[in-house]
Structure 1
Amino acid sequence: MPEDRAPEGPGDHAPAPLWPYALELYARPGVAALCLEAQDTLGADVPLLLWGAWAAARGHVLTDADMGAARSLADRWRGPVIAPLRHARRALKDLPGGEALRQTVKAAELEAERLYMAALEALAGSWPAPSPCPTALRDNLARLLPPDAGLVTERLHKALS
């Protein structure tokens, strides 16, 4: 990992670049499991959730314009690239002799997510300078998860805070 520090919380001055921030956040206890639960049960986009948390760390509440640009990127990365890689990786898990290929596909999936998140990070170029916003994380999660996902939203908020 390029930086050896914990992700900043909402209101800190200089958030880490998105990719190292997301890796460190995802490694926190319970975060990966909650993100995967949201992905598998609600169709949530984990890179978007981590991007939303990163935006909140910058004090930025996602706007309609942010969401439209992010969804456009998601349409280009998630369905045609990341989802097929994830599907192949999961299918290889149960195939005899498929572990080496599974690891190769897993690395490709991770690289695709890194590139997708680099594109998401670029969207922040038009955001105002970071500033404290105590409700940014809750607001961003509410925009990124379905309205009926209140319990998952609250659990993720707690894990990401």
Structure 2
Amino acid sequence: MIEDTGLGEQAPAPLWPFALEIYARPGVAALCLEAQDRAGADVPLLLWGAWAAAGGRVLTDADVNAARALADQWRGPVITPLRQARRALKNLAGGEALRQTVKAAELEAERLYLAALEALSAGWPAPPGPCPVPWATALRDNLARLLPPDAGPVTERLHKALS
């Protein structure tokens, strides 16, 4: 998703609505969760990488390192404990109301994490020339940088689901 800035330039759409839209595509949520549960992937990072690709951006080592530093601030101390609590409450009798509250908190934490990831793009230069890197190429490269090397099969399936 790209938006016209009205100045003859194009800018990426805001990350949160992009992430919601792309996550809702058929098969994407299941593949993201598979990558998360089986390969230790960070779903917000994957969505950020797809968003960057939609803007013609192939992530650099500096981009990935800055994003992983943010991930360390959000995932371990905030999002993972909320996810664990939500999953634990699923099987407890009478815990559904609390589970929904924790789920809402987890979603809000992910939204704030994505906002921090989006802020990283503020310093990105505009794509070179009138023709940025094609979406499919940038997406493949970005997913490969953000998923563990042993996640090849899920990387390919996720690339297909997002393309």
Instruction: Normalising by structure 1, report the TM-score.
Output: 0.91
Identity of aligned residues (%): 84
Amino acid at match of 2:42: D
Structure 2 counterparts to residues 99-118 of structure 1, below 5 A: 99-118=96-115
| Structure 1 residue 146: Cα displacement | 1.1
Q: Which has the larger radius of gyration?
A: 2
Which residue of 147, 150, 155 corresponds with 1:153? 155
User: For this pair of structures, how many residues does the alignment match?
Assistant: 151
Which residue of 89, 103, 107 corresponds with 1:92? 89
Q: 2-side partners of 1:97 and 1:83: how far apart?
A: 22
1:149 aligns to what SS in structure 2?
helix
Q: 1-side partners of 2:113 and 2:91: how far apart?
A: 28
Q: In the alignment, does 2:45 pair up with 1:48?
A: yes
Q: Report Cα offsets for 1:34-77 as digits up to 9, x if no partner.
A: 00000000000000000000000010011111111101100000
Query: Which sections of structure 2, spanning at least 5 residues, go unmatched?
Result: 3-9
Q: 2-side partners of 1:127 and 1:160: how far apart?
A: 23
- The runs of 4+ residues in structure 1 deviating greater than 2 Å are none
Query: Which sections of structure 1, spanning at least 5 residues, go unmatched?
Result: 1-6
Structure 2 counterparts to residues 5-154 of structure 1, below 5 A: 7=1, 13-130=10-127, 132-134=132-134, 135-154=137-156
2:20 aligns to what SS in structure 1?
helix
| Structure 1 residue 98: Cα displacement | 0.3
Amino acid at match of 2:88: A
1:4: which partner in 2? none
Q: 1-side partners of 2:68 and 2:147: how far apart?
A: 13
Q: 1-side partners of 2:153 and 2:142: how far apart?
A: 15
